[in-house]
Structure 1
Amino acid sequence: MPNNVNINNIRKNGVSYYQLYFKCPVCLERGNQVSPSFWTHATDDGDIYIGENARYYCDRCETTEHIMKWKYRCPVHSNPNDDEYIEVTDKTNIAEAVSVSGQLVTITGIPWLQELLKNL
């Protein structure tokens, strides 16, 4: 992880969430090489966090949703004119996106990542 990236974390209902910083899983599924980035909730621009329960959490509206039910919109695969959101069709692409950002492990620890992958 680049030295200038600071990952925030929160604890909600006994779950540890870390600010979502990873490569777009839809782009990975399509073979597009993109850089990791922080993600915000399209509805309200709240920061998105990822928990070991395999759920995303928005810190602004407190929406929580399982990773596999989430839809993604990014500058590479989405058309800004039609507000395109795309689901990931294969769990391995989510796992790859998370593991590509496995630098989080230095912050979260291996048990956190193992629990996340188990809950996918």
Structure 2
Amino acid sequence: MSERWVDLYTVCPGRGCNNETPSYWVHSVDSYRTQISNHGRIKCTGCSTVDYMKNWDFACSKHSGEYRPTSSISFGKALFIASNNVGMDDDFIDDLSRYLRKNKWDYGLR
């Protein structure tokens, strides 16, 4: 499966966050939008920083200023809630879900 990218539009994937209002996510370093790939990577459209989603932390209006790590479970839940987003077609969601199931990370060590 080839890697595909879409704008990251989802609810907050930070662990323990209950914010269920989806939004476009921006990179705190330069305020450019971020994108997510079906291979579990996130990139900044400005500075081109690319890393696996498990290495990103997230802050939203419910816990502004406090960046929270994510996990395969919390990210999967966030994507499920926002799965009706235009741009995240069923194939993209299926590919990313498969990635999350196969590549669970040990978020307790993060």
TM-score norm. by structure 2 comes to 0.78
Decide which of 92, 100, 106 is 1:112's aligned counterpart: 92
Instruction: Give, in angstroms, the shift of residue 87 of structure 1.
Output: 0.5
Contact 2:40 2:53 in 1 (8 A): yes
Identity, % of aligned positions: 24
Distance 1:43 1:33, change over 3 A: closer
Aligned residues: 99
Instruction: Give, in angstroms, the shift of residue 99 of structure 1.
Output: 1.0
Superposed, 1:9-28 pairs within 5 Å as 15-26=3-14
Contact 1:54 1:66 in 2 (8 A): yes
TM-score norm. by structure 1 comes to 0.73
Contact 2:12 2:19 in 1 (8 A): no
Specify the structure having the higher radius of gyration (Cα).
Answer: 1
Q: Which residue of 2 aligns with 1:74?
A: 60
Name segments (4+ residues, structure 1) moved above 6 Å.
Answer: none
Contact 2:20 2:81 in 1 (8 A): no
Structure with greater contact order relative to length (CA < 8 Å, sep ≥ 6): 2
Q: Which residue of 2 aligns with 1:97?
A: 78
Structure 2 unaligned residues grouped into runs of 5+: 101-110
SS at 1:65's partner residue? strand
Instruction: Give, in angstroms, the shift of residue 108 of structure 1.
Output: 3.5
